[in-house]
Amino acid sequence: MDRDARLQEWERRAQPYLFIASTLFLTSYSVRVLDPGLSPAWYVLWETVTVVSWSVFVAEYLARLVFSRDRWHFVRTRWLDLIVTVLPLLRPLRMIDLHERMQLRRDAPGLGLEARVMTYSGLAAALLGYAASLAVYHVESSAPDANIHTFGDAVWWACSTLTTTGYGDATPVTARGRVVAVGLMFVGVALVGAVVGSFSSYLMRSFRREGER
């Protein structure tokens, strides 16, 4: 119990530093991908920032894993931590989780459950869409038969995928680009689920309230 409490204390204290590291990771990766005219010196600098911030995430996760008593329990209950350590572009997702927990601790949810679900799924969709656009633009821009040529094309593709519209005028053609796309498609289905489910739930409650009046 003591050990768990110390783990939680550590996690609470480490958050601000991890937040700075995740901002640095996202910024350095974005700059490297989006600015083709970067001088070699700057490129190396930004690459170092990317690598160092990623190392911080991996080191912090491993440290916690080694420290925790029941390691399999740790991996299972903190699966989101594992995902954002392997795919650091998604780390800002962790902020949503933190915000939610802080809200619950203060016992002041502020917004209703549906409004929070809508806000969180909107933020998650925006972050995932941006990360997927970056990654797909990164891997597709050098493919010979690509139809995603600019970052604008990648954003356009990401929006059409997230809403499950799928025009097909801009689609990844490389294996790595398609793996990212498959992830985004299933997020699209979940996003539709979150919006639709929240809306349905909101309607049901409105009715109950109307009935009680």
Which residue ranges make up the site for a second copy (CB under 8 A)?
113-114, 117, 152, 156, 159-161, 163-169, 171, 175, 178, 181-182, 185-186, 188-207, 210
Q: How far apart are CA 109 and CA 150, in angstroms?
A: 41
Q: In the complex with a second copy, which residue's Cβ is closer, 56 or 146?
A: 146
| CA–CA distances in Å: residue 162 to residues 71, 127, 148 | 35, 11, 16
Beta carbon of residue 155, minimum distance to a second copy (angstroms, whole number): 8
State the Cα–Cα distance between residues 89 and 50, nearest whole angstrom.
10
For the CB of residue 190, give the shortest distance to a second copy in the complex, in Å: 7
59 or 122: CB nearest a second copy: 122
3-state class (DSSP) for residue 5: helix
Q: Which is closer to a second copy, CB of 8 or CB of 206?
A: 206
Q: Closest separation between CB of residue 173 and a second copy, Å?
A: 8
Closer residue to a second copy in complex, CB, 44/113:
113
Question: Would you say the C-alpha torsion 124, 162, 173, 37 has a positive or negative sign?
Answer: negative
Q: What is the smallest separation between the CB atom of 176 and a second copy, expressed in angstroms?
A: 11
User: What letter represents residue 53's amino acid?
Assistant: S
Please give the Cα distance from 140 to 172 (Å, whole number): 7
